[in-house]
Chains A and B, each alone.
Chain A
Amino acid sequence: MRYPQLVRGCLRMTSMPFLTLLGYLEIGLCIAALCALMAKKQWADYWSLGAFLAVRAVSSMALVYILHPVFHPLSARVGYHLYFYTYWISFAVESVLALIVVYSVFRLAMAPLKGLQQLGMLVFRWAAAISVIVALGSAFAPDMTSSKYLVAAVSQLERTQSILTLCLLVFVCFAILPMGLNYGSRIFGVSLGLGIMSTANLVQSAWVPHSRNIYCAYNIVNGIAICLVLATWTAYFALPEPKRRIIVLPTTSPFLRWNQISQVLGDNPGFVAVGGVPPGLFAPAEIEVMQRASLKMATPFPRSMSA
């Protein structure tokens, strides 16, 4: 396949069965990864990834059904209309779920350092919320139809999510050893899969324009990438995970110090009544205790103690 064909040309007829096969393989691998996740009882930690895989499996089945006219009597126009909305709405849901996956992976990776985890999650929540608002806002233009707005908003959201995912992948890759994890950990496997997906998305958005035909040769590249990602996730969830090592940090470690500082950030402060307190506010027993304490403070040290 030549380069111009790859980036904007229509698929050759000979490539169609391969693309169809990749579509079926994607659905199969989605279900396999979901089954491996549930069989290993990882739903509590990775529910967002499970939801992502479930949405992807269901939407892909619906899209395959619409794409093949042997299954239904729909005309090309009606079929494309259904395909368009199924594709973009499922894409929007998957983008939001992918953001939650990134959030939960960060939470799991930072679990031993509670203070930094809380601080990081707070920053992440703000960054994600602002990104979503900016994506929805920047997609708006005066002469925009609802379908154009849907495509633009989902594209912006997906790009934002891809950038956040790549940032997380770099963080996980370099912090994985100090966090007591290794490259066989599911946290790394999930991040790596998300990173490959995000890179494919960003490359596609930068260099591959949409053609006037639904079948673009880049679909094959996308199909191979998603099968690779889903196979990675299936393998990471199917294989036993190595245990997390004990994390040992020197007492002078800035990592430890920042964790301690972060742990006390946001704690509710105590309050001291400094004046204007009516005596009726206290119970008789409390007044008695305070009077005794005042007497003790007024009394000088006993001689036996001072001697």
Chain B
Amino acid sequence: MKIIVRSLVIALALTGAIATTCANASSAKATVSVSKTSAMPAPGCPPDDPNGCGIYDGN
């Protein structure tokens, strides 16, 4: 149990560390945006987008 939990936590921390490194490397080229960990879609377009970022396309 202890080993499983510790392995899981180390895996999470390592993934986070690698992701941070990759995001830092890519931030030189483009703006890095984070979105909520949520089922709600992340609005990536500017607020005055003429198409409303396709908000009602799926409905």
Contacts and interface: CB of A to CB of B under 8 A. Distances in A.
Interface of A: 10-11, 13, 16, 19, 22-23, 25-26, 56, 60, 63-64, 66-70, 75-77, 79-81, 83-85, 87-88, 91, 94, 145, 147-148, 151-152, 154-155, 158-159, 162-163, 166, 169-170, 173-174, 177, 183, 192, 195-207, 209-216, 219-220, 222-223, 225-227, 229
B39 A154 contact: no
B9 to A, nearest CB: 4
Interface of B: 1-2, 5-6, 9-10, 12-13, 15-20, 22-23, 26, 30-59
Contacts of B51: 76
A288 B9 CA distance: 68
A80 B52 contact: yes
A19 B39 contact: yes
Given A67-B55, A199-B15, A212-B44, A206 B39 contact: no
A68 B21 CA distance: 37
B37 A77 contact: no
A159 B34 contact: yes
15 contacts: A11-B58, A64-B40, A69-B59, A76-B51, A79-B55, A162-B16, A170-B9, A195-B9, A201-B36, A202-B20, A205-B32, A214-B44, A219-B39, A219-B41, A226-B38
A84 B47 contact: yes
A83 B36 contact: no
Given A79-B55, A81-B48, A84-B47, A159 B20 contact: yes
Contacts of A205: 19, 23, 32-34
Given A183-B5, A206-B20, A210-B44, A151 B33 contact: yes
A94 B2 CA distance: 31
A173 B6 contact: yes
Given A84-B43, A219-B41, A206 B19 contact: yes
A186 B10 CA distance: 19
